[in-house]
Amino acid sequence: MRVREYGQVVGSHGSRRRITNGGFRGLTLVALVIAGGGCGEALPVLRLPMPEGNSVVVAQDNAPYDHPISFGGMPLCLTGEGTVTITAVGIHEVSGDIRIEAFALRPNPFVRGLDGVGLIHKSLVEIGGGFDPGSTQQVGAMCPTETQMADGSAEPLDEFAVQVSWSAGELAGGRGLDVTYSVEGVERTSVLPYGIWLCSSACPDDLGP
């Protein structure tokens, strides 16, 4: 099985990503530069720790039908203090027959001597290492500030991953993930700029934004 993803090497299993408008060190799970704080919002917002306008696209050539494929390496954090509970995940503006079958967080793998998921042809349960899709998925870490990144004091972030499959077609996916979460009784949805695509043969080169 040839994995065709875009851009720089970011993890195990030959996984690569296409990055737009700058670099993304997501698989270090300690984030890029982003200022903490809610930008005037009363409630924290869930996000990937990357500059506005950046995105990640991961595409799988020759993806088998009816077989779990897990995409991960997504560090999640909040723009302010608090805790959010992830309740649902979907493909943003989905195209084709792709399903998200499970999602989960786990403690930062690298500080425990493990690899990030990247892209693996296994279910999240099979991957293990702290992934438990059946449990409550909560995020409470604030996004690090520029100062924290500069002095190395940023705390490692939990890794988020999704498990997908498909059953028909030549191409399926979307250019982001709709992550719905609850915070202090309020339901919100963040669109994470993490595109996922499955292709029955070679993936086209124009799947990025």
DSSP character string of 162-181 = EEEEE-S-SEEEESSEEEEE
Section 103-116 average pLDDT: 87
Confidence at 154, pLDDT banded by 50, 70, 90: confident
- Which contiguous run of DSSP H or E holds residue 41? none
Res 16 pLDDT > 60:
no
What's the pLDDT at 120? 95
Res 127 pLDDT > 50:
yes
Cα separation, 116 vs 111, in Å, equals: 11
Residue type, 185: G
User: Looking up tokens 């292709």, which residue turns up?
Assistant: 199
Direct distance between the N- and C-terminal alpha carbons of the chain, in angstroms, rounded to an integer: 26
Sign for the pseudo-dihedral over CA of 23, 25, 27, 33: negative
User: Looking up tokens 């990247």, which residue turns up?
Assistant: 118
More confident residue, 153 or 193: 193
